[in-house]
């Protein structure tokens, strides 16, 4: 509450001044250059505020055609639908942990399917193929991925590759309707400064094309959990919520400077601390995923930590990182490295901290040897370790199987009384879709897991056996109609059998 009206007026004036200065900076006008006598039409500063507003509107119009909403269906995981987002809640004063947040909304019948939702940004074009950058925790090992475009078009997407280490993934779509206008320019995250404007675009909580504005509040943030390693993240106070994952963080020119990936929160929602993967990290990952389908990284099989002042005094070393564990099956163990060794350098380059060392090792080519300088028992010695392939490297992508187009490509189950009640169809009969084949006629027609089919060619469907028999009576080249109920709403779907 304001202490008095004068205090309130002073604060309102301060806020107005900050917005005016910000607008002038965006327009490339120095504050001292703008210190001219105000005109009668602009005595309250509204024209300057309108200029600021227009600047953000231009950025939104330029970037939104390239920002997409992603739906990824995972089968055989759990009977829950998930809203993909990663969180970093503080824990015991530490940096926190990142995790996928799921909402307990089981599918009817407890089918083992998870639907994850997130965002993505189109970053490259190759003819009619467009590559979309997003988070790995959105895509994971999805069996089906759909992309919802700016113009409400829905396209099937192919998973090009994932990189669990950086939590990045690339999917592709093919469409002659897209153009260069849908590709968002990539900036240079090395030029990002604390205090710079930061603009987040995405689909938080399912609200597509949401834009939030803030500033870069810190750089080189480091967060780590048991599965994903993040380093040198961009911190921002632009609002990021579940569903923003994989969407872009933009600068004032509309260039992508980061990929939104995590928030720090004690509530599960936005509290002013969001994190984005720097786009310069993502650039090399995108290139490799498009070319190879995965990112190959080196591994030594050791756990390390930075030296605190007491540890430096105890071990007699002011530099290096401390080995706290050695994987008995890893290359470091075979080379004789031990717990409490201090690693000073890798291939002659000084080790700055654990994050620098991990990135250096990850960048090393498996099969090559790496020379180490270590301290053990207060004496310096040399060691050589053969770099191995990181066990977290995804398997090589499999060839895309040919889709059997002659079948509808869906699996159904007889609708039970409990399931009918769950979807608001008490007493109704029919079948519920429990699986879809990627690229099938059923998927092309817009059917999805959880849909209820009550009629086929205007005839009631009583069970899964009835449905199969009715499908068999539809000949090649004939059109069938399905009455489909989804989320309480019915529609008629037409499918021409091949």
Task: Catalogue the active-site residues.
Answer: 137, 167, 245
Q: Is the dihedral of CA 283, 286, 291, 293 positive or negative?
A: positive
If one counts every other C-beta atom within 10 angstroms of the C-beta of residue 53, the result is 12
Within 18-112, strands assigned E span 67-75, 81-87, 99-103
Distance of alpha carbon 105 from alpha carbon 259, whole angstroms: 27
Contact 326, 332 (CB under 8 A): yes
Q: What is the DSSP letter of 90?
A: -
Phi and psi, residue 20, nearest 5°: -65, -45
CB 240 within 8 A of CB 270: yes
Torsion of CA 359, 364, 370, 375, to 10 degrees: 10
- The encoded tokens of residue 363 equal 């960048």
Farthest CA pair distance, the chain: 85
Cα separations in angstroms, 396 against 161, 292, 293, 294, 400: 9, 8, 7, 7, 12
What distance in Å separates the CA atoms of residue 162 and residue 397, rounded to the nearest whole number?
10
How wide is the angle at C-alpha 209 spanned by C-alphas 203 and 212, nearest 5°? Answer: 85
413 SS3 class: strand
Q: How many CB atoms lie within 10 A of CB 309?
A: 8
Handedness of CA 97, 100, 101, 102 (dihedral sign): negative
Angle of the 5-26 helix axis to the 46-63 helix axis, nearest 10: 50
CA 53 to chain centre: 28
- CA–CA separation, 222 and 94 (whole Å): 11
Measured at the CA of 226, the angle between CA 353 and CA 298, to 5 degrees, comes to 55
If you count them, how many residues does the chain have? 498
Q: How many CA atoms lie within 13 A of 94 on its CB side?
A: 9
Q: What three-state secondary structure class fits 231?
A: coil
Q: How far is CA 51 from CA 26, 29, 39, 55, 177, in A?
A: 9, 12, 16, 6, 33
Tokens of 464: 């899964």
* Beta carbons of 409 and 441 less than 8 angstroms apart: yes
Which of helix, strand or coil describes residue 137? helix
């Amino acid at each position: 509450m304001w202490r008095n009206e004068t205090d309130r007026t002073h604060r309102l004036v301060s806020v107005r001044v900050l917005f005016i200065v910000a607008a002038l900076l965006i327009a490339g006008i120095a504050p001292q250059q703008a210190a001219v006598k105000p005109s009668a039409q602009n005595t309250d500063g509204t024209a300057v505020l309108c200029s600021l507003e227009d600047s953000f509107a231009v950025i939104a119009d330029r970037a939104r055609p390239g920002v997409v909403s992603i739906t990824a269906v995972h089968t055989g995981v759990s009977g829950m639908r998930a809203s993909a987002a990663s969180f970093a809640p503080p824990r015991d004063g530490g940096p926190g942990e990142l995790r996928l947040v799921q909402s307990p909304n089981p599918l009817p019948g407890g089918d083992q399917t998870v639907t994850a939702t997130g965002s993505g940004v189109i970053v490259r074009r190759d003819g009619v193929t467009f590559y979309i950058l997003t988070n790995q925790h959105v895509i994971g090992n999805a069996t089906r991925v759909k992309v919802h475009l700016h113009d409400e078009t829905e396209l099937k997407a192919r998973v090009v590759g994932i990189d669990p280490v950086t939590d990045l993934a690339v999917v592709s779509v093919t469409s002659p309707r897209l153009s260069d206008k849908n590709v968002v320019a990539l900036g240079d995250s090395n030029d990002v400064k604390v205090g710079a404007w930061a603009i987040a675009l995405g689909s938080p909580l399912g609200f597509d094309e949401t834009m939030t504005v803030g500033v870069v509040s810190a750089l080189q943030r480091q967060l780590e959990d048991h599965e994903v390693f993040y380093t040198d993240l961009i911190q921002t106070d632009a609002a990021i919520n579940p569903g923003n994952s994989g969407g872009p963080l933009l600068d004032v020119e509309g260039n992508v400077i980061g990929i939104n990936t995590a928030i720090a929160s004690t509530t599960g929602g936005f509290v002013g601390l969001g994190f984005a993967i720097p786009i310069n990290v993502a650039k090399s990952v995108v290139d490799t995923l498009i070319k190879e389908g995965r990112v190959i990284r080196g591994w030594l099989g050791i756990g390390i930590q930075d030296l605190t002042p007491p540890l430096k005094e105890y071990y007699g070393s002011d530099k290096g990182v401390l080995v706290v564990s050695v994987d008995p099956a890893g290359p470091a163990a075979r080379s004789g490295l031990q717990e409490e060794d201090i690693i000073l350098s890798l291939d002659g380059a000084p080790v700055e901290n654990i994050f620098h060392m991990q990135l250096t090792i990850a960048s090393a080519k498996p099969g090559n040897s790496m020379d180490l300088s270590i301290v053990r028992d207060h004496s310096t010695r040399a060691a050589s370790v053969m770099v191995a392939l990181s066990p977290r490297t995804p398997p090589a992508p499999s060839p895309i199987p040919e889709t059997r187009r002659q079948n509808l490509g869906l699996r159904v189950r007889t609708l039970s009384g409990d399931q009918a009640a769950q979807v608001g169809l008490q007493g109704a009969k029919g079948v519920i879709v429990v699986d879809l084949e990627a690229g099938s006629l059923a998927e092309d027609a817009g059917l999805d897991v959880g849909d209820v089919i009550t009629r086929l060619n205007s005839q009631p469907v009583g069970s899964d056996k009835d449905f199969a028999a009715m499908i068999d009576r539809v000949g090649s080249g004939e059109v069938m109609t399905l009455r489909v109920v989804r989320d309480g709403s019915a529609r008629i779907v037409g499918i021409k059998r091949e």
